Amino acid sequence: MTNPLVQMRGIRMDGRSDEAWSPIIKGVDLTLNRGEVLGLIGESGAGKSTLGLAAMGFTRDGVRISEGAVSFDGIDLLAASAEQKRQLLGKRIAYVAQSAAASFNPAHTLLDQHAEAPVQHGVMSRAEAEADGMELYRKLRLPNPDEIGFRYPHQVSGGQLQRAMTAMAMSCRPDLIIFDEPTTALDVTTQIEVLAAIRNIVEEFGTAAIYITHDLAVVAQMADRIKVLLKGEEVEEAETREMLSAPKQDYTKSLWAVREFQRPAKPAPAVDATPVISVQGITAAYGKMDVLHDVSFDIHAGRTVAVVGESGSGKSTTARCITGLLPPRLGRIELDGAELPLDYRKRSKDQLRQVQMIYQMADTALNPRQSIGDIIARPVEFYMGLKGRAKRDRVADLLEQIELPADQYYDRLPSELSGGQKQRVGIARALAAEPKFIICDEVTSALDQLVAEGILRLLARLQDELGLSYMFITHDLATVKSIADEVVVMKDGAVVEQGPKADMFRPPHHPYTDLLLSSVPEMDPDWLSDLLRERGADNVGDAATARMD
Amino acid sequence: MPPVLKIILQRLALGLLTLFIVSIVIFTAVNMLPGDFAQAILGQSATPEAIAAIRRDLGLDQPPVTRYFVWLGDMLQGNLGVSYAQLNFQSNMGGANLKTVADQIAPRFGNTMFLAGVTAAIAVPFAVTLGVLAALYRNSVFDKAVNISTLTSISSPEFFLAYILILFLAVLNPILPAISNVYQGIAFQDRLMATLLPALTLTLVVTAHMMRMTRAAIINLLASPYIEMARLKGVSPLRVIVKHALPNALAPIINVVALNLAYLITGVVVVEVVFVYPGIGQLFVDAVKNRDIPVVQACCLIFAGAYILLNLAADVLSILTNPRLRHPK
Amino acid sequence: MSVLIALIAVAVAGWLFRFIGQRLTGKPYFRDMPYAVAFGFALAVALIGAGVWLYLQPAMNDQGVPRASVMFFHWAVHFFAVSAVAAFLFRLLGRLVGTQGSRKLFRQMPLTAAYGILVVAIYAFVAIFAAVLAPHGQEEVFAAANVVPGGNPAMGGNPDFPLGTDQIGRDILSRLIYGAQNTVGIAFATTVLAFVLGASLGFLAATLRGWVDQVLSRAVDVLMAIPSLIFSLLLITVASAWVSGAGLTAAMVVIIAVIDATRVFRLSRAVGMNIVVMDYIEAARLRGEGLGYLIFREILPNATAPLLAEFGLRFCFVFLTISALSFLGLGIQPPLADWGTMVKDLSAFINYAAFAPQVASAPLLAAGAIALLTVAVNFVVDWMLHRSSGLRE
């Protein structure tokens, strides 16, 4: 292979904000050979997608390539005319977007959109393209491959759409496909089907690919080589196995290390101990539809109960029931053995104080018009009645506890803080009420891994120091492994299985827990192949069909 | 029943209900008037007998609820009552053929519809084209020029635009008549000439609104990922617009057009007065000045009805063009 | 016909422009230029050329009779040029003096917004100091009626009345100045009233939800189903039976405020709803905070930007509605000087435009005064909306 398929040299790119250009890619080289899959990883804002699109000679509005060269199969993409590029796009270079639901035109059927590129580029006739589409749908294990193409995008589920989009990218048998976070929006059990489908078809046609993602475990399954980006600059690049076993740069090492944080196991609570929170058989409904069915679990002092499940499993609804925002239809909730009124408006100030909440999106959880100091001071004043000097000192203490120096942060607005810092302020606001029990709703899922790691460590430390109890809602099993004492698995509004963490991660499992656990990608590059062999290839397809019904 | 049909029927029912409540509001507002209609008609010097007679004739001695339903029933049958001005004329002068409100409104309604029609015929294609162009070449000099000029034309009162047009097209360069002399049996071409200047004035106002809304809708649409996807598939620019943008743009554009035609209703009043155009708007203003209640009520109901109807049409058409609703799961 | 030929010429010129550009430079800019853009350039050049040609025409013909079209065009160009220079200087001033924050604001400001702020400031100044600035009283009637504007006695003017007098002999300049006070002041008061009413009910509905929201929203739906000008005319008919003169003006203020409050209600409810679903509101509710704290401390500070923009737009709308009503003779009642009424009273002067352009300028000045203020406010609001949407990205 003397002649690489894609060659990018010294790429610098700028993005426009407020009428001024600021750099987003600061001199990156990229080489991709025929039939090779390159993984492009980095945190949000690293410039992965921008670089991926630049490999197609395409820039979004408000972005420009200021320096460098991009060549595809010997063609200079930056010098090529719009018409020349148009001839390449879709035919020899294809793109798979993050959100398939938004990237399919709602006004046309899947097959209509599938056939567009081959017909427009003169590769196939309309009939051939449609027949080929059905064939690709079959290869990608879409259910009813002969019929699904006649549906409109909104009639098809997210995981299936993502595979249909991969099929669409394949329609002209391109030399190169750019996958832009194709599985980020999917649940783990769906993600695995899509990953398997993408990998098989790329292998089958020997297509070269750039696979963009922020998930290391995912990229380990897909890529031959991995390139790590940080803030528009390359950190390092190596063969996948080499990168996983022996990362060279500190930043890469730190990314790997995240997965190793593990809390020591705590002794089980005494049998006769009164739980801090006891949820007893709650059933709740939105309107007339029951969304929670007979959910029960206990949370003891100083312990963390992780509630896991995919989107729509009822995790957050359970939290809304406990806080009293959605009074359950049946069942009772006890705090320290005493019954809590189900509606939060009927709870006493002290009962409200004892149950605090930390939110997923720190952006919407903090009032953008109040300073950090005011945000934390309000519960201090409201519950503790502190004023003036005493209040200020208490807020400063709290800021120290969350590792933000009070003199620097007291007067800042939330918009001046990073995502991780905002989440810390959210924690401080909860602590300010001096509660016994805190609900953490997906508190790390919007954060980059390193930052999330910091938050988890902080929460663990605070628990040890203050004896807090946590209900930890998450869909991320790695987080569960690192922080939970007990696990509650939920599906379709009901508890599937619950018990101490050690038991949960040891077989035998409930079949759903098994599916959930085994679907979480691991850093081992052979993980996906092993798993597929284990499950049997047909099994994946069945799971896909089962989800559809 | 298909869900689309169900939603549309719901909207229609809601529209009718709104119209019904609006009629109550109009009736109630007018019946808050102090004093006696009969007194108002006949003036201070009328004899008590004459007043009593008129009260009986008009049904003013009935309770309000009864009067409302009688009024509504009459309205539905197209019987809009008799103008007080006419009544007064008759009671003072005597005279056989009494012109009813319906007789007064009918020809003027036709004239107003003609004016609105000419305006729409010019404004809609013009505004939509301009809006699409501005969206396609957004942030260009063209876009900015269009932005500033539409902003200016939205900000100007209708009568300012009207007098500017009169100044240039009627006084300085006598191309079109400054006063719209439309009469019974006028030839189509003359009618068109007489209507053109008021129609142009309304066009300026409506085009600006319509164009800005179209531009916003199209920009919104062009930012959607499926348009980027189409470009990344190597689809030609024209095809991106025709095949990918247009089917989805239809709903917002239809919505914009219908909303602006509804807006025309307000504009018509002032413009008709400026050009002395014999339409409902002018009749309405005269009736308001003379406190001619039956005419005010009837005009109000016609305007409100048209307004509700156009908003309803916007609603229904955008439902009909929504692929999600047309192809249910 | 001549228009068609001109268009064809422009089309050919556009094609030539692109063709020559491609041949001479070979730059990707010309290579990828769609024909529509080339046509646009050619059209723009043609229009500018026509404008320059018209501007260079003499304002008088050989017999010394003014050529009105050319004169009006001259005035328009001069006005535009003065506006642009004033806006530029004003922005320059803003960038040089003031606090750091205000200087930064002026640095990012487009020229249109600077112009808008300048005009609004001038209007406010004139409105507040009308009594000092106006040479005569607004109701003062002089013996000299129909004095021609310009102040040149040779042409029928009078230096005492720079903009002339109207049909019954009132000084037009003074009435224009007092008009700022009356028209703008009344429109402003009406808007404030509409806002207090609409916004407080809107936020209440968004925070309380439930039946309060239902009742208010349905009532507003019904009121909004009647076009606002029509509805205000209907209610003014009713009001005119009770009151007249200044009382009718006050009634009009209340009527328009109530009708416009429905629009403000819609917006503030929607803005409130968007804020109410935020997690920080949930956190405050769960803390046990009362309604007052929620509305004034949590919701309102986050709603100021959209509300301020809406205030500008609403003011324009109210201002135009009041002017339209006055123009129809049903708005601000005499003897108060008001621009809408002035346009109506002076409109007959337009017909003299062909031989006496100055005379025709009087009604246009009053109408232009209305347009200029709304344009200015719209420029500022446009910039504010652009800025707040830009910050969100």
C positions 345-374 inside 8 Å of B (CB): 347, 350-351, 353-354, 360, 363-364, 367-368, 370-371, 374
Q: Does A281 score more than 60 pLDDT?
A: yes
Q: What gap in Å lies between CA A101 and CA A160, rounded to an integer?
A: 10
Report whether pLDDT(A540) > 70: no
Residue C148, pLDDT > 80, answer no
The pLDDT value recorded for residue C81 is: 92
Question: In this complex, do A359 and C283 lie within 8 Å of one another by their Cβ atoms?
Answer: yes
The string of pLDDT tens digits covering residues A108-167 is 999 999 999 999 998 889 999 999 999 999 888 888 888 888 998 888 888 888 889 989
Whether residue C355 is predicted with pLDDT greater than 80 in this model: the reply is no
Environment class of residue A508 by beta-carbon count within 10 Å: exposed (0-12), middle (13-18) or buried (19+)?
exposed
User: What pLDDT score was predicted for residue C343?
Assistant: 87
Helix (H) or strand (E) holding A32: strand A20-32
User: Letter for the amino acid at C83?
Assistant: S
pLDDT digits (tens, 9 = 90+) for C321-337: 999 998 888 888 877 88
Relative to beta strand A63-72, strand A225-230 is unpaired
Rounded Cα–Cα distance for residues C106 and C117 (Å): 11
Most confident of the ranges B130-139, C13-22, C69-78, C262-271:
C262-271
* Residue pLDDT, tens place only, B271-288: 999 888 888 888 888 888
Closest C-alpha among C241, C340, C319, C242 to residue B289: C241
Residue C278: closest C-alpha in chain A: A364
Hey, how many other C-beta atoms are within 10 angstroms of the C-beta on C25?
Answer: 11
For residue B49, the model assigns a pLDDT of 75
Which of B137, B142, B265 is closest, CB to CB, to C227? B265
Has residue B46 been placed in a domain?
Answer: no
Q: How high is the mean pLDDT of chain C?
A: 85
Q: Does a structural domain hold residue B61?
A: no
What is the separation, in whole angstroms, between the first and last Cα of chain C? Answer: 50
Q: Which of the residue ranges A295-304, A325-334, B252-261 would you say has the lowest mean pLDDT?
A: B252-261
Say if residue C160 is exposed, middle or buried (CB neighbours under 10 Å; 0-12, 13-18, 19+). Answer: middle
Number of structural domains chain B divides into: 1
Q: Is residue B206 part of a domain?
A: yes
Higher pLDDT, B180 or A425: A425
Residue B284 domain flag: yes
Give the angle C207-C209-C212 at the CA atoms, nearest 5°. 110
* A384-442 tens-digit pLDDT: 888 889 999 999 999 998 888 888 888 888 888 888 899 999 999 999 999 999 999 98
- Tell me how far CA of residue A253 lies from CA of A46, A247, A260, A302, A485, in angstroms: 17, 6, 11, 32, 27
A282: β partners: A295
Instruction: Indicate whether B262 pLDDT > 90.
Output: no
Rg for chain B, CA atoms, rounded: 24
Give buried/exposed letters for A474-485 (b at 16+ CB in 10 A, else e).
bbbbbbbbbbbb
Tokens at A455, concatenated: 């938050």
Nearest to B157 among C241, C324, C378 (CB): C324
Average pLDDT over residues A460-478: 89
Tell me the three state secondary structure of residue B221. helix
The candidate with the shortest Cα–Cα distance to A433, out of A508, A353, A491, is A353
- The Cα of C286 is separated from the nearest Cα of chain B by a number of Å equal to 37
**CB contact, 8 Å: C68 with chain B?**
yes
The pLDDT score that the predictor gives to residue C198 is 92
CB contacts < 8 A, A to B, total 76
Kindly state the DSSP code that residue B2 receives in the 8-state scheme.
-
Per the structure block, which two tokens stand in for A64?
Answer: 């420009």
CA gap B229, B172 in Å, rounded:
54
Instruction: Say which residues have a Cβ less than 8 Å from residue B223's Cβ, sequence separation at least 6.
Output: none
Residue A110 amino acid letter: L
pLDDT of residue A548 exceeding 50, the answer is no
Phi, psi (5° rounding) for residue A9? -125, 125
Q: What is the pLDDT of residue B263?
A: 78
Name the pLDDT band for A357 (thresholds 50, 70, 90): very high
Residue B255 belongs to what domain range? 107-223+249-290
Contacts of C280 in chain A (CB under 8 A): 364-367
* HEC sequence for A157-194: CHHHHHHHHHHHHHCCCCCEEEEECCCCCCCHHHHHHH
Q: What is the DSSP letter of C64?
A: S
> Which amino acid is residue A526, in one-letter code?
D
- C-alpha distances out from residue A355 to A331, A378, A430, A459, A468, Å: 18, 16, 9, 16, 11
Q: Mean pLDDT lowest for which of A48-57, A233-242, C132-141?
A: C132-141
- DSSP H or E stretch at residue A333: strand A330-335
Structural domain contains residue B6: no
Which architecture does CATH list for C172-389?
Orthogonal Bundle (1.10)
CA atoms within 13 A on the CB side of B240: 20
The top-scoring range by mean pLDDT among A154-163, A267-276, B28-37, C129-138 is: A154-163
> C177: which residues sit within 8 A by CB, 6+ positions away?
C126, C130, C133, C134
Mind listing the domains of chain A with CATH numbers? 6-256 (3.40.50.300), 277-518 (3.40.50.300)
Q: In 3-state terms, what secondary structure has residue C60?
A: strand
Yes or no, beta carbons of B247 and A56 under 8 Å apart: no
Please tell me the distance from the alpha carbon of residue A183 to that of residue A192, in angstroms, as a whole number.
9
* pLDDT surpasses 60 at B94: no
Closest CA to B297 of B310, B318, B283, B311: B283
Which pLDDT value is given to residue A424?
A: 92
Q: Is B140 on the interface with A (CB under 8 A)?
A: no
A20-32 and A6-17 as β-strands: parallel, antiparallel, unpaired? Answer: antiparallel
Condensed to tens digits (0 to 9), the pLDDT of residues C294-318 reads 888 888 888 888 888 889 889 999 9
Q: What is the mean pLDDT of residues C242-249?
A: 81
Q: How many CB pairs under 8 A join B and C?
A: 159
Contact A50, A57 (CB under 8 A): no
- In this prediction, residue A450 carries a pLDDT of 79
The pLDDT value recorded for residue B92 is 54
The predicted model scores a pTM of: 0.83
Give A262's DSSP letter.
Answer: -
Q: CA–CA separation, C243 vs A351, rounded Å?
A: 59
